[in-house]
Amino acid sequence: MSSTTPAPRPRKFGGTPAQIRSAAAFFRVFAYVTGVMLLLLVLEMVFKYFWQLELFIGGQLLDGTANTIGMHNRAEVAGGFNASLGILIAHGWLYVVYLFADFRLWSLMRWPFSRFITIALGGVVPFLSFITERKVHKEVMAEMENHPKAAKRY
């Protein structure tokens, strides 16, 4: 009795190899940018919640001296730019771009939705974006190499 096993379905990508390489490069850049901003945010939160210090650029201290750049209690500085708040806002918006890069790569590679979520977590757990980027980039390049004639989905 012979059993015929159906041939495996060919691997299909959601875009051309050039589009996938471009998405992988875009993801790589924003994984590093988001990771660095997240580390700065964690450092800023430690200073803020343990010592009540925030990074201010410019402004004037309560004793009348000018502040160029320094860590101060919010109540001690009049005017100036709160760089700690700037780091918080910048990380938030850069994480949105990171999610876009994740979505673009995920959709072109046609991975399961759980993969999108695990990659997205890389931007909220310190150091995880660096690990995720390395692993994802290696897998993308391996799949591209293993399936050089993978057809586009349309």
DSSP assignment of the chain equals ---PPPPPPPPEESS-HHHHHHHHHHHHHHHHHHHHHHHHHHHHHHHHHHH--EEEES-EETTS-B-SEEEE-GGGEESSEEHHHHHHHHHHHHHHHHHHHHHHHHHHHT--HHHHHHHHGGGTSTTHHHHHHHHHHHHHHHHHHH-TTPEE--
pLDDT digits (tens, 9 = 90+) for 32-91: 999 999 999 999 999 999 999 999 999 999 888 998 899 999 899 998 999 999 999 999
**Could you tell me if residue 81 is inside a domain?**
yes
Residue 5 lies in a domain: no
What is the span of the domain harbouring residue 100? Answer: 17-147
Average pLDDT, stretch 100-124?
95
Instruction: Please report whether residue 42 resides in a domain.
Output: yes
154 assigned to some structural domain: no
pLDDT tier, 11 (very low <50, low <70, confident <90, very high otherwise): confident
What's the whole-model pTM score? Answer: 0.86
Domain tally for the chain? 1
Mean pLDDT of the chain: 90
Residue 10: inside a domain? no
